[in-house]
Amino acid sequence: MPTEILMPALSPTMEEGNLSKWIKKEGDAVAPGDVIAEIETDKATMEVEAVDEGTLGKILIAEGTEGVKVNTAIALLLGEGESEADLDKTASKPASDASGDETAKTETEEKPSGGASVPAAPEIKIAADPDIPEGTEMVSTTVREALRDAMAEEMRRDGDVFVMGEEVAEYQGAYKVTQGLLQEFGDKRVVDTPITEHGFAGVGVGAAFAGLKPIVEFMTFNFAMQAIDQIVNSAAKTLYMAGGQMGAPIVFRGPNGAAARVAAQHSQCYAAWYGHIPGLKVVMPYTAADAKGLLKAAIRDPNPVIFLENEILYGQSFDVPMMDDFVLPIGKARIHKEGKDATIVSFGIGMTYAVKAAEELAGEGIDVEVIDLRTIRPMDLDTVIESVKKTNRLVTVEEGFPQSSVGAHIASQVMQRAFDYLDAPVITVAGKDVPMPYAANLEKLALPNVAEVVEAVKAVSYRS
Amino acid sequence: MARAASKTSAARSRSTKKGASGSAVQAPKPPKPEDFDKEQELHAYREMLLIRRFEEKAGQLYGMGLIGGFCHLYIGQEAVVVGMQMSMKDGDQVITGYRDHGHMLATGMEARGVMAELTGRRNGYSKGKGGSMHMFSKEKKFYGGHGIVGAQVPLGTGLAFANRYRGDDSVSITYFGDGAANQGQVYESFNMASLWKLPVVYIIENNRYAMGTAVARSSAETDFSHRGLSFKIPGIQVDGMDVRAVKAAGDLAVEWCRSGKGPIILEMQTYRYRGHSMSDPAKYRSKDEVQKMRSEHDPIEQVKQRLVANKWADEDELKAIDKEVREIVGDSAEFAQTDPEPDVSELYTDILL
C-alpha cells in the first residue's frame, strides 16, 4: 500500500500551515532526505524532507493551498514494486478524512493524561531527633568546630566523601571551617579550587553523578550565584529527568546571608531562593549541635543538599552532645522553647532575634513558643501548625528579603491549613526590601531586630 | 594542596623549557586516518546508518506531533560519535548537550528506549520525564543529555575527576558544540582539568553554526583546537566527516588521557544537514553549501563507497544492512507510539531519593 506523506508539524506550536511549493513532481523518484516540498509555518518557510524511499505517486494537496492542518495526507509515496494502480488503494480516501482520523486518534490518546486528576503530593514522614542517652557529656563547641567535626567524621566513615572549594585546604578555610582537614585527609580529599564557582560546582555535580559524595564549599553563597545553574539545573533536576537512574549526592555549603558591613553584593540570604526548587534539600541550622547533626545527615543524604551557614554564628558556642555518631533528621523542626501565648518561627541567624525577643516578652508575661525550622526544604509545617493550634498566633523571623520569603510561604500555608486557629493575621518579620547598605546605621535598619520581633508578637497578641 | 602545588611548579619548569624551544604545549601530531578493515567499515556503516535513519524517523514523528517541544537532529554528524565510540572501552563515560540521540545510540542504548522517551512514554529511558534533551543510561555510562548549552562541560570534567579520584583508567568523553565553546564555564573546566591532569577528552563538534550564528560571526578564534592553549591543553583538528579520521584521533586522545597526560581537545569539523531544531528553516546558509556537504562529504556515503570499491559488500548486502536498520527504527517508532504515557503517579516520583 502506498505510504501517506503527512503535513508535518515543524514547531512546538504549529497546528496548520500553507503548502507553498512542491519541489518533487508526480512520478519523481524520492530518496530519504530529499526535499519534496516547502511549507510555510507561522514562523518560517520550511523544507519537507522525504523519510522513505520511493516514487512520488500522487500529490493530494496542490501547491498554494493555505491552512493545511498538521497530519493531513499531502501526497502518496509508492514503494518498491508498487505502481500507479496501487494508488487507488488509498486514493479513494479523501485527505480530510485522513486528517479527521488523526485528530480523533490524538484526542483519544490524550484522554488519559488530559482527563486524569493531579495526584496528591506524597506525604513525607520524617523521624524525630534521636534520643540523647542520659548522662551524655555535653561539650561547648563553636558552630565552626561542629561543622568541621561533622565533615571529619563523615570523611573517616566514607572514602567517597571529599571536600572542595576555594581555600579549603592549605589556607585551612577562608573562615577556618575546614581547619585541619588537609592534614588528616590529604590533598586528594581536600581540594583547593581556583576561583571558579560555576566550574567547580559543575565538577562537583559530575563527580556526584559518578557516585562520589562531594562537599562543595562556597566561600560565601553570594558567589554561588555564579553556579546556580549547575545547582538548580544539573544537581536538583537530574534524578527526575533521568527517571530515577542517577542523581547527585552532593552538599553545597558555606556562609549565607549578611555578615557585617560587607554591603549589597555580599549580604544576601538564599533560603527562599533554594527553598523554591524541587529536587533540593535546604538546611539552615542555628545551634552547633544542629549544625553538626544536620551536616552529617546532609553528607549521607543521596540528594543534593544546600547547607546554609552564617559567618556571625561560626564563632558562637553551644552544647553539643559527645556521641559517636550524632546525626539529626533533615526536614524536622526543633521546638527551641515551649510556650503557650504566641509562636515565633525562625531559622539560622534569625533565631538570635527570636530567642532574645522571647526572653524580653517573658518579662512582660507573654510566654512565646520558639520553633527553629532548621530545614527550609522539606519544611516541617506540621510542627508549626501544631504550635499555632496551641498559641493561635504566629510571627516568622528571617533576614532575607520580604517578597516571596520563607515567612511568606509559612504564612500562606498556615492560612490554608489552620485558618480557623488563627486569632490574628500572621506577621512576617524580614529584612527590608532594599539592597544591603554599607553605612553602619543603614545596615542596622535594613536587618530585622529584636524590637521588631517583640512588637510583632505584641501585635498578634493585641497587646501594646 | 601540597601535592598539586609541587605538580604545578614541576609543570611550570617543564613549560619554561618548552618555552625556550618555542612551544608552550607539545600537541601530538594529528594522526592520519587509519585504514579500516572490512569488519570496521561494516560496523561504522551500520552504526551511522542507524543514527541517520533513527533521526529521520524522529523528524517524521515530530512532524506528526508525536514528539513535542525541542528536537535537535544529528543528521550529518554521525561519524563523530561512531568513530569515538570505536576508540573507547568499557568504563569510559559519555556526556553531551541536547543534540544527543546519536550519542545515545552509539553507546548502545536501545532505539526503543530512546524513541519512547522522545514521544514521552513510560518505557523511555527517563520514564518519559526527560524528553529529547534529557536522557541518561547509567548502564551504558551515558551521563546525559543536557539542555543548558555548555553545562555538560564541567559535569564531564567532574566525571573525569571521579575517575582520577578512584584511580581507575576510565576516560570521560565530553562533547560540546562550537556554540558552547564560547561559554565561560568551558574555560573554567579547561583550567581545572589541566591543573589536575584529569582524564577528559573534550570533543568540540564544530558543525559551523551555533543555532543560526556562523562560527566566524561568534568566535574570535575559529580554530577550536587552539581553545585550550591558555590552559596547556593540546588540541587537534579532525575531519569529523571521515569516521576513520575520528577513530584515529580518538585512539590518540583516549590513550593520551589514560597515560596520565591530562585533558586533550579534539575539534571535529563536521556539519549538520538539518536546521538547529525542527522549527529552524536554516536560512542562514545556502542550499548549495548543504548540498555540497551532502554530496561530497557525507560520512555514510564515504564508507559505502569504500565498501563497494574494496568489494567488501555488494548492493544486496548493503541493502540488507539498510533493511535491518530500518526494522530497528520502525520497531522503535511503533513501540514509541504504542507504549503508554507514564502513569500519573510518576508525577511525584524521582524528585528525591
Would you write out chain B's pLDDT as a tens digit for each of its 353 residues?
344 444 333 333 333 334 334 445 677 888 988 899 999 999 999 999 999 999 999 999 998 899 999 999 999 999 999 999 999 999 999 999 999 999 999 999 999 999 999 999 999 999 999 999 999 999 999 999 999 999 999 999 999 999 999 999 999 999 999 999 999 999 999 999 999 999 999 999 999 999 999 999 999 999 999 999 999 999 999 999 999 999 999 999 999 999 999 999 999 999 999 988 888 888 899 989 999 999 999 999 999 999 999 999 999 999 999 999 999 999 999 999 999 999 999 999 999 99
Question: Cβ–Cβ of B158/A202 closer than 8 Å?
Answer: yes
Q: Name the residues of A annotated as catalytic.
A: 197, 266
Whose CA is closest to A328, among A456, A150, A447? A150
Angle at CA of residue B87, ends B228 and B252, nearest 5°: 45
Nearest chain B residue to A11 by CA distance is B279
| pLDDT surpasses 70 at A110 | no
What phi and psi, each to the nearest 5 degrees, are found at residue A455? -65, -40
Rounded percentage of chain A residues whose pLDDT exceeds 90: 79
Paired sense of beta strands A305-309 and A251-255, if any? parallel
Nearest chain A residue to B91 by CA distance is A210
Please report the DSSP string for B273-304 in residue order.
Answer: SS-SSTT---TTS-HHHHHHHHHHH-HHHHHH
Determine the distance in angstroms separating the CA of B246 from the nearest CA of chain A, rounded to an integer.
Answer: 24
Residue type (1 letter), A51: V
Q: Is residue B63 part of a domain?
A: no
Within 8 A by CB and 6+ apart from B120, the residues are B67, B68, B128, B131, B341, B342
CA dist., res. B170 & res. B172, Å (int): 7
**Residues from chain A contacting residue B151 (CB–CB below 8 Å):** 202, 229-230, 233-234
CA dist., res. B96 & res. B150, Å (int): 9
Candidate from A69-73, A84-88, A178-182, B187-191 with smallest mean pLDDT: A84-88
Q: How many Cβ atoms from other residues are within 10 Å of residue A195's Cβ?
A: 12
Q: Is residue B277 part of a domain?
A: yes
Where residue B231 sits, what CATH number does that domain have?
Answer: 3.40.50.970
Domain total of chain B:
1
Q: Please report, to the nearest 10 degrees, the dihedral formed by the alpha carbons of residues B101, B104, B106, B110 taken in order.
A: -100
Whose CA is closest to A13, among B279, B118, B116? B279
What's the mean pLDDT in A134-159?
97
pLDDT in tens, A380-399: 999 999 999 999 999 999 99
pLDDT in tens, A311-320: 999 999 999 9
Q: Which of A203, A209, A215, A231 to mutate to test the interface with B (most CBs of B within 10 A)?
A: A203
Nearest chain A residue to B343 by CA distance is A113
First to last CA, chain B: 34
pLDDT in tens, A401-445: 999 999 999 999 999 999 999 999 999 999 999 999 999 999 999
**Residues from chain B contacting residue A122 (CB–CB below 8 Å):** 348
Q: Tell me which residue in B162, B189, B349 faces A210 most closely, judged by beta carbons.
A: B162
Nearest chain A residue to B136 by CA distance is A242
Looking at residue B1, its pLDDT comes to: 39
- With beta carbons less than 8 A apart as the criterion, state whether A222 and A268 touch: yes
**Residues from chain B contacting residue A212 (CB–CB below 8 Å):** 161-162, 165
The set of cell numbers assigned to A16 is 496548520
Nearest chain A residue to B153 by CA distance is A202
Q: Report yes or no: B148 at the A interface, CB cutoff 8 Å.
A: yes
Paired sense of beta strands A73-78 and A65-69, if any? unpaired
Determine the distance in angstroms separating the CA of B32 from the nearest CA of chain A, rounded to an integer.
Answer: 31
- With beta carbons less than 8 A apart as the criterion, state whether B106 and B100 touch: no
CA dist., res. A256 & res. A463, Å (int): 34
Q: Which of A4, A51, A241 to mutate to test the interface with B (most CBs of B within 10 A)?
A: A241
Looking at residue B25, its pLDDT comes to: 67
Identify the H or E element spanning A151: helix A143-157
Residue type (1 letter), A301: D
Looking at residue B24, its pLDDT comes to: 57
Question: Cβ–Cβ of A51/B341 closer than 8 Å?
Answer: no
What's B136-157 look like in SS3? CECCCCEEEECCCCCCHHHHHH
Q: Tell me, what's the ipTM?
A: 0.92
Query: What is the Cα gyration radius of chain A?
Result: 31
Q: Is residue B338 part of a domain?
A: no
Looking at residue B22, its pLDDT comes to: 41
CA dist., res. A386 & res. A380, Å (int): 10
CA dist., res. B155 & res. B193, Å (int): 11
Q: Tell me which residue in B53, B147, B156 faces A206 most closely, judged by beta carbons.
A: B156
Whose CA is closest to B268, among B55, B108, B76, B104? B76
Q: Is residue B135 part of a domain?
A: no
Q: Is residue B58 part of a domain?
A: no
Q: Is residue B248 part of a domain?
A: yes
Q: Is residue B164 part of a domain?
A: yes
Question: Cβ–Cβ of B127/A244 closer than 8 Å?
Answer: yes
- With beta carbons less than 8 A apart as the criterion, state whether B185 and A198 touch: yes
Q: Report yes or no: B138 at the A interface, CB cutoff 8 Å.
A: yes
The set of cell numbers assigned to B308 is 563497494
CA dist., res. A329 & res. A339, Å (int): 23
- With beta carbons less than 8 A apart as the criterion, state whether A136 and A188 touch: no
Per-residue pLDDT band for A45 (boundaries 50, 70, 90) equals confident
Looking at residue A107, its pLDDT comes to: 42
Looking at residue A97, its pLDDT comes to: 41
- With beta carbons less than 8 A apart as the criterion, state whether B93 and B159 touch: yes
Query: What is the Cα gyration radius of chain B?
Result: 21
Nearest chain A residue to B76 by CA distance is A33
Q: Tell me which residue in B64, B146, B340 faces A71 most closely, judged by beta carbons.
A: B64
What's the mean pLDDT in A326-338?
97
Looking at residue A92, its pLDDT comes to: 46
CA dist., res. B119 & res. B136, Å (int): 16
Paired sense of beta strands A334-337 and B142-145, if any? unpaired
CA dist., res. B239 & res. B242, Å (int): 6
Angle at CA of residue A118, ends A115 and A119, nearest 5°: 125
The set of cell numbers assigned to A433 is 526590601
- With beta carbons less than 8 A apart as the criterion, state whether B163 and B129 touch: no
CA dist., res. A307 & res. A328, Å (int): 14
Whose CA is closest to A344, among A290, A384, A284? A384
Q: Please report, to the nearest 10 degrees, the dihedral formed by the alpha carbons of residues B148, B149, B154, B157 taken in order.
A: 120
Looking at residue A93, its pLDDT comes to: 45
- With beta carbons less than 8 A apart as the criterion, state whether B222 and B237 touch: no
Rounded percentage of chain A residues whose pLDDT exceeds 70: 94
pLDDT in tens, A234-252: 999 999 999 999 999 999 9
- With beta carbons less than 8 A apart as the criterion, state whether A390 and A454 touch: no
CA distance to A168, A370, A402, A403, A452, per residue, from A430 (Å): 32, 16, 5, 9, 10
Per-residue pLDDT band for A217 (boundaries 50, 70, 90) equals very high
Q: Domain range spanning residue B220?
A: 26-35+70-102+140-317
- With beta carbons less than 8 A apart as the criterion, state whether B112 and B337 touch: no
Determine the distance in angstroms separating the CA of A325 from the nearest CA of chain B, rounded to an integer.
Answer: 22
Please report the DSSP string for B21-59 in residue order.
Answer: HT-SS-PPPPPPPPPP-HHHHHHHHHHHHHHHHHHHHHH
Looking at residue B328, its pLDDT comes to: 98
Q: Which of B188, B298, B326, B332 to mutate to test the interface with A (most CBs of A within 10 A)?
A: B188
Per-residue pLDDT band for A47 (boundaries 50, 70, 90) equals confident
Task: Tell me the helices (H) and strands (E) count for chain B, helix number first.
Answer: 12, 8
CA distance to A134, A352, B117, B121, B331, per residue, from B335 (Å): 62, 60, 11, 9, 6
Question: Cβ–Cβ of B341/A49 closer than 8 Å?
Answer: no
What's the mean pLDDT in A106-115?
47
Q: Tell me which residue in B153, B161, B350 faces A243 most closely, judged by beta carbons.
A: B350
Looking at residue A84, its pLDDT comes to: 79
**Residues from chain B contacting residue A198 (CB–CB below 8 Å):** 154, 184-185, 188
Nearest chain B residue to A235 by CA distance is B155
Determine the distance in angstroms separating the CA of B3 from the nearest CA of chain A, rounded to an integer.
Answer: 7
pLDDT in tens, A79-108: 888 887 778 765 444 444 434 344 344 444
CA dist., res. B94 & res. B138, Å (int): 10
Please report the DSSP string for B99-135 in residue order.
Answer: --HHHHHHTT--HHHHHHHHTT-TTSTTTTSS-TT--
**Residues from chain A contacting residue B127 (CB–CB below 8 Å):** 243-244
Largest CA distance in chain A: 100
CA dist., res. A399 & res. A119, Å (int): 35
- With beta carbons less than 8 A apart as the criterion, state whether A350 and A430 touch: no
Looking at residue B348, its pLDDT comes to: 95
Question: Cβ–Cβ of B185/A233 closer than 8 Å?
Answer: no
Looking at residue B17, its pLDDT comes to: 39
Collapsing DSSP to helix, strand or coil, B271 comes out as coil
Q: Report yes or no: B256 at the A interface, CB cutoff 8 Å.
A: no
> 3-22 in B: which are within 8 Å (CB) of A?
3-5
Q: Is residue B134 part of a domain?
A: no
Question: Cβ–Cβ of A119/B345 closer than 8 Å?
Answer: yes
Whose CA is closest to A154, among A131, A184, A198? A184
CA dist., res. A240 & res. B134, Å (int): 10
Q: Report yes or no: B124 at the A interface, CB cutoff 8 Å.
A: yes
What phi and psi, each to the nearest 5 degrees, are found at residue A307? -120, 105
